[in-house]
Structure 1
Amino acid sequence: MNELSLTTPALLFPAVSLLLLAYTNRYLGLAAIVRRLYDDHQTRPSSNLLKQIGSLRQRILLIQWMQGAGVLSLFLCVLAMFEIYVGAHQLAEMTFGVSLICMIASLALSLWELKTSSVALNILLSDLERHQD
């Protein structure tokens, strides 16, 4: 087996950074939607707005977990680099492996959040279709 070098965990930095930026943008977009729905509900209460609350709560939670897993992945990458630096190569390999697992979890949560988002959009589309008739 090839020995893990400092550059291997470092390769994950750009990917994780861009992923965390994308997750933050999703979170900020979701926060704007929640604020707008709140204002809409204050002026025009609607059962469809209330139907979206469960989906929005789940999406917020998923994004928090996505971000947490991404940050943990980045943290473990840095820790693996430190372990390589101090000569703890076997520990570094395990740490880097866990870092990759955290990244996989973050991406899986991202897919789940995307699916949940689609459900919320379908609620809006069904409302539009109902008003069309």
Structure 2
Amino acid sequence: MTLTTPALLFPAISLLLLAYTNRFLVIAQLIRSLYKQNVENPDMDIHKQIIHLRRRILAIRRMQVAGISSFIFCVLSMFAIYIQQMVVAHIVFGGSLVLLLISLCFSLYEVQISGQALNLQLKNLEDQREDSA
């Protein structure tokens, strides 16, 4: 393993962290909007949506923590290579890959929660159509 091996993960991890941050910001804005709407006109469906969004925020924070930790381990791996501690470098780089995998698993979980929230909203739309028919 050379110094460039862990460096190859830098762009991938950076892009993932950017995507995670964008998800977080969009969901935070949506929560604020729904919260305000729910304060003005309390609705159980809005409350359920906020609960789903809260679960997504928690998943995104875990994704970010695992991604940042993976980035840190990459840097530590590069440092271990630099000081020619190859056994340590391999172990730390392996840890970086595991943390990246954990981050991606949380991302998959967050996507599933997102799908559930959309299904809830679509169900409400279908129920409204049936009630008006």
Does the alignment reach a TM-score above 0.5? yes
Q: How many residues align?
A: 130
Match of 1:83 in 2: 80
User: 1:48-99 CA deviation, whole Å, 9 max, x = no partner?
Assistant: 0111232122111100000000000000000000000011111000000000
Name the aligned partner's letter for residue 6 of structure 1: L
Identical counterparts, % of pairs: 49
3-state secondary structure, aligned to 2:84: coil
Match of 1:27 in 2: 24
Match of 1:102 in 2: 99
> Structure 1 CA distance, aligned partners of 2:47 and 2:36?
13
1:129 aligns with 2:126: yes
Detail structure 1 runs of 4+ shifted over 3 Å in the superposition.
Answer: none
Runs of at least 5 residues in structure 1 that lack an aligned partner in the other structure: none
> Structure 1 CA distance, aligned partners of 2:83 and 2:101?
27
Runs of at least 5 residues in structure 2 that lack an aligned partner in the other structure: none
Question: Displacement of 1:39 after TM fit?
Answer: 1.2
3-state secondary structure, aligned to 1:87: coil
The TM-score with structure 1 as length reference comes to: 0.95
Give the superposed CA RMSD.
Answer: 0.7
Name the aligned partner's letter for residue 99 of structure 2: C
